[in-house]
């Protein structure tokens, strides 16, 4: 009996070992063990684009304490236009806030040197863009760096933060060729531009008071009481005379398109005298429209 029990125990143990071996090796009737999961490569984070151009300036500034960038302004710290023969970008900018916008001489500067208002009696608050970056734009401005004879009185420029302005497209421009005696209103750029010749005879500055050449822009258009304009609007430009500190008792010597009965040849104090049809067309152009005089 003890032998039978011992034999039975041996059989049971052997059977148990067999079962363990079968389970460990996997039989035809058993489930295949699940394979180890394949590692999944995590998606790389999309890098933040590097801002193009000068770094942003997050400083908070107020108009108080800064000279206003208007037609009367004298801004020795603002640079004059160093590329007067180049075209603008077909964009106009204006302060987005009623408080206006700070104007910088250079985007690397920590502090502004002038202030561009949103509204100004004599205009100049809508300005053409000549250079554009993510955080900054360079624009043409009204005012002067210095009076004639005391420094450079030519076209001013400055830098605005893109966060401070609204930018709109304006592909209109005016091209004046003094030697060819033509004034053209241009819509668009390059070979696709539409050109409208509005004058083939007009007057321009005399030798002692030449019409400034290069690029400027429409500062203000309004009807005045000046007799020679005969009730037609005057289109005032951003650039002032480079030989006259002032004119007709004023502290400014603004150049302009205007009507005049006498309008042929190099005879004016710098303004461009045109006929009725031409001044009517020019008066339709929005503020900030670039003017190219060569």
Q: Which of 44-53, 78-87, 132-141 has the lowest mean pLDDT?
A: 44-53
In the predicted structure, residue 169 carries a pLDDT above the cut 90: yes
**Region 2-11 average pLDDT:** 35
Q: Which two tokens stand for residue 74?
A: 């004298």
Q: What is the pLDDT of residue 49?
A: 61
* pLDDT confidence band for 191 (50 / 70 / 90): confident
- Pairing type for strands 254-259 and 272-274 reads parallel
Where in the sequence of the chain do the CATH 2.30.30 domains occur?
91-169
Mean pLDDT of 12-16: 36
**Average of per-residue pLDDT values in the chain:** 88
Cα–Cα nearest to 219, from 120, 100, 85: 120
pLDDT tens digits, 254-291: 999 999 999 999 999 999 999 999 999 999 999 999 99
- Alpha helices, DSSP H only, in the chain? 2-25, 276-282
Between the two ends of the chain, the Cα-to-Cα distance in Å is 129
Q: pTM of the full predicted structure? A: 0.83
In this predicted structure, what is the pLDDT of residue 14? 39
Fold assignment, 172-293:
L,D-transpeptidase catalytic domain-like (2.40.440)
pLDDT for the residue 223: 97
pLDDT of 59 higher than 70? yes
pLDDT of residue 212: 98
Give the integer Cα–Cα distance in Å for 249 and 256: 17
pLDDT at 275: 99
Cite the active site residues.
260, 271
At residue 25, does pLDDT exceed 60?
Answer: no
pLDDT at 203 over 90: yes
pLDDT digits (tens, 9 = 90+) for 113-131: 999 999 999 999 999 999 9
258: CB partners within 8 A, 6+ apart: 226, 228, 229, 232, 234, 235, 271, 272, 273, 274, 279
The reported pLDDT for the residue numbered 45 is 57
> What is the reported pLDDT for 4?
34
Percentage of residues in the chain with pLDDT exceeding 70?
Answer: 83
Where in the chain is CATH 2.40.440.10?
A: 172-293
For the domain with range 91-169, which CATH number is right: 2.30.30, 1.20.950, 2.20.28, 2.60.120? 2.30.30
In this predicted structure, what is the pLDDT of residue 35? 55
Q: Is the pLDDT of residue 15 over 60?
A: no
Per-residue pLDDT, 40: 55
Cβ-Cβ contacts under 8 Å for 17 (sequence gap 6 or more) = none
Q: Which of 6-10, 62-66, 214-218 has the lowest mean pLDDT?
A: 6-10
Q: What is the pLDDT of residue 198?
A: 99
């Amino acid at each position: 009996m003890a032998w039978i029990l011992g034999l039975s125990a041996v059989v049971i143990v052997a059977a148990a070992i067999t079962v363990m071996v079968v389970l460990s090796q996997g039989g035809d009737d058993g489930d295949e063990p699940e394979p180890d999961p394949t590692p999944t490569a995590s998606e790389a984070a999309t890098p933040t684009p590097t801002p193009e151009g000068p770094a942003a300036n997050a400083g908070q500034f107020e108009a108080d304490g800064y000279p206003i960038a208007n037609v009367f302004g004298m801004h020795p710290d603002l640079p004059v236009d160093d590329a007067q023969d180049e075209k603008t970008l077909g964009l106009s900018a204006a302060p987005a806030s009623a408080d206006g916008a700070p104007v910088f001489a250079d985007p690397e500067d920590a502090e502004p040197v002038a202030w561009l208002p949103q509204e100004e009696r004599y205009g100049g608050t809508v300005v053409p863009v000549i250079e554009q970056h993510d955080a900054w734009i360079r624009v043409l401005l009204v005012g002067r760096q210095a009076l004639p004879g005391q420094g450079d009185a030519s076209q001013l420029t400055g830098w605005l933060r893109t966060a401070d302005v609204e930018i709109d497209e304006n592909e209109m421009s005016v091209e004046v060729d003094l030697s060819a005696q033509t004034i053209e209103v241009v819509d668009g750029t390059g070979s696709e531009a539409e050109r409208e010749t509005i004058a083939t005879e007009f007057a321009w500055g005399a030798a002692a008071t030449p019409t400034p050449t290069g690029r400027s822009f429409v500062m203000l258009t309004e009807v005045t009481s000046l007799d020679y304009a005969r009730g037609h609007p005057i289109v005032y430009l951003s650039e002032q005379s480079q030989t006259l500190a002032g004119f007709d008792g004023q502290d400014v010597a603004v150049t302009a398109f205007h009507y005049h009965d006498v309008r042929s040849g190099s005879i004016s104090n710098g303004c461009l005298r045109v006929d009725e049809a031409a001044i009517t067309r020019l008066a339709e152009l929005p503020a900030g429209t670039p003017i190219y005089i060569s």
